[in-house]
Structures are given as C-alpha cells and as structure tokens.
C-alpha cells in the first residue's frame, strides 16, 4: 500500500541529510597559528581589522621601508597566515611591507556562517581598505597574493578595484563549478544530485559561478597578473592555469610553472621566490 505521507517524509529526510552533508563537507577546517614571524627572525605586529559586517580579521604585519609597496597575502581553504610565511619572507627581504591575513573561519579570525570565494574576497578588500586608512603615504602601492581559493579571491577583488598595482595568484582553479564537480564526482553521486548541490551552493553564496570564476575575473583586472601553478598539482590540474590564460584576450596574465610542484607545496614555490620578485620588479612594483 502506498502512503503519501511516508514518501514525503522520506524525501524531506533525504533533502535535509543532503543539505547537512553539503554544509559539513564544505566547512573549512580551522588551523590556529602555532608559530609567528619572530620564530623566523622577523619583526612583526599583530593587526586586528574590524569589518563592515562586524567581524574581526586577524593579520600579521611585517614592516619594511615605510613608503615601500605593501603586499597583502591570503591563504587558501583551511589555511592560515603561518602557512603562507615561506612565501612572504623572500618578498619581505626584497623590500616589501607584508600583511599576512587570516580569512573568516580561519586561523585567529572570527567565525561566520560559511566560507566562500566571495567572502575571502571581501576579507581581502577589508585588508586593502585598512591599509589605505592606516598608511602614512596615501600613494602607497598595494599588491595582492593569494593561494588556491585565496588566489581566486584576490583575482575577484582586484577585478572590482582600481587601486591594486599587481596580483599573484597561486594554484587557482579556472572555474568554481569545475572544481566542485571534480570534488563531488568522488562520491559517485548521480548527475541530477550534483546539479542540485551546485545550484544550492550558488544560491547560498549569492553569486553566479561565472561571475566569480578566475577565468573571467582575471580578464577584467587592470593591473599586471601572474599565475603560478605546479605541474604536479592533482587538486587543481595545471590545465586550469592554461584555461585562465587562454581565455583572456586583453590583459593576458603571465604564467609561471613550477616543475613538480603540487597544490600545497608552498615551500617549493618559495624556492622560486626570486621569480616572484622579478615579476614585481619588472612591473615597477618593487
């Protein structure tokens, strides 16, 4: 015998379980910094940035020459400022002021209901505004560097501003829908279920995937852009970097390939820190 009420209850349970799995599955793990720049022999200051949303962001400021350019560095999903220190140090030695930022739900930052590329971008924007409000030189140049989701976030934020002089995006995916499909397909879900989850996440973050996709936002940026990607990256294949570069017709990003580099091999990229410095010098930033 068919019982409509039971069938409806089963559907509700399935939908509820799916939504819960989505929120849990896409929740960023929080890693608190255990060390700080002083452990590497560098002077630093702790910075707290109050956002328009009433949240407090946490950052380390590594001062160099007062009027030198400042580079804001943003980690990836589940990362923190400490994990980006190896990249920051060669750039600091080159004479740049550094601001290492924790995004919401990461490191020592305040919590939020969820994390997303647009929210990472908002936090990067709050850091830019903080620098402009607190630096002694209103003409001080600001550059952005991000890794993975942070790399997509700095591209998105820079595409909406006119006050950024250079962007370095490391191990970034070309399109968030491609990235999430690669992740969801591991669970052998049917196509209709994947499509529904993708649609739900798009509504949750309040942005169309195409509007925040690095392969689109990178083309809108008015300053020089450098993409850095490891050839052995299994999380985001190097073909994504080529897709971003090939998609842009006007301000085509430069591409630096790290032979044998994986998605999280920040130390491998650090060994090529002189190439990052060379890019910034070539563009007149340093």
**pLDDT one-digit tens code per residue, 173-203:** 999 999 999 888 887 878 888 888 899 999 9
Q: Edge to edge, what strands does the sheet with 225-230 contain?
A: 45-50, 56-62, 97-102, 70-74, 142-147, 166-170, 225-230, 254-258
Task: Name 60's bridge partners.
Answer: 46, 100
42: three-class secondary structure by DSSP: coil
What angle, rounded to 10 degrees, do the helices at 273-282 and 85-93 form? 50
Q: How far apart are CA 264 and CA 270, in angstroms?
A: 12
Per-residue pLDDT of the chain (286 residues; tens, 9 = 90+): 544 555 444 444 444 445 555 544 457 789 999 999 999 888 999 999 998 778 899 999 999 887 889 999 999 999 999 999 999 989 999 999 999 999 999 999 999 888 999 999 999 999 999 999 988 777 789 999 999 999 999 999 999 999 999 999 999 999 999 999 988 888 787 888 888 889 999 998 999 999 999 999 999 999 999 999 999 999 999 999 999 999 998 889 999 999 999 998 777 777 888 999 999 999 988 8
Q: How far is CA 286 from CA 54, 68, 69, in A?
A: 34, 7, 7
The Cα-based distances of 228 to 10, 250, 262 in angstroms read 47, 19, 11
Q: What are phi and psi of 99, to 5 degrees?
A: -125, 110
pLDDT tens digits, one per residue of 18-60:
555 554 445 778 999 999 999 988 899 999 999 877 889 999 9
pLDDT of residue 12: 43
Q: Look at the alpha carbons of 146, 150, 156, 161 in this order and tell me if their dihedral is positive or negative.
A: negative
């Amino acid at each position: 015998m068919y019982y409509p009420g039971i069938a409806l209850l089963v559907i509700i349970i399935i939908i509820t379980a799916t939504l819960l799995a989505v929120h849990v599955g896409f929740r960023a793990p929080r890693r608190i910094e255990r060390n700080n720049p002083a452990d590497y022999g560098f002077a630093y200051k702790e910075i707290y940035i109050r956002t328009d949303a009433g949240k407090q962001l946490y950052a380390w400021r590594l001062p160099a020459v007062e009027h030198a350019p400042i580079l804001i560095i943003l980690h990836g999903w589940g990362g923190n400022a400490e994990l980006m220190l190896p990249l920051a140090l060669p750039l600091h030695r080159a004479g740049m002021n550094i601001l290492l930022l924790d995004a919401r739900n990461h490191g020592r930052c305040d919590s939020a209901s969820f994390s997303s590329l647009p929210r990472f971008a908002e936090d990067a924007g709050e850091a830019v505004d903080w620098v402009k409000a607190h630096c002694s030189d209103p003409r001080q140049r600001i550059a952005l560097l991000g890794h993975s989701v942070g790399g997509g976030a700095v591209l998105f934020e820079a595409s909406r501003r006119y006050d950024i002089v250079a962007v370095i995006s490391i191990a970034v995916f070309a399109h968030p829908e491609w990235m999430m499909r690669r992740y969801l397909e591991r669970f052998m879900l049917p196509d209709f279920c994947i499509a529904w989850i993708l649609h739900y996440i798009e509504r949750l973050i309040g942005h169309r995937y195409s509007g925040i996709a690095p392969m689109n936002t990178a083309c809108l940026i008015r300053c020089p852009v450098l993409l850095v990607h490891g050839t052995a990256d299994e999380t985001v294949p190097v073909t994504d970097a080529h897709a971003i570069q090939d998609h842009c017709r006007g301000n085509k990003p430069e591409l630096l390939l790290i032979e044998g580099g994986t998605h999280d091999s920040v130390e491998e990229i650090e060994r090529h820190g002189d190439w990052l410095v060379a890019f910034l010098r070539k563009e007149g930033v340093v």
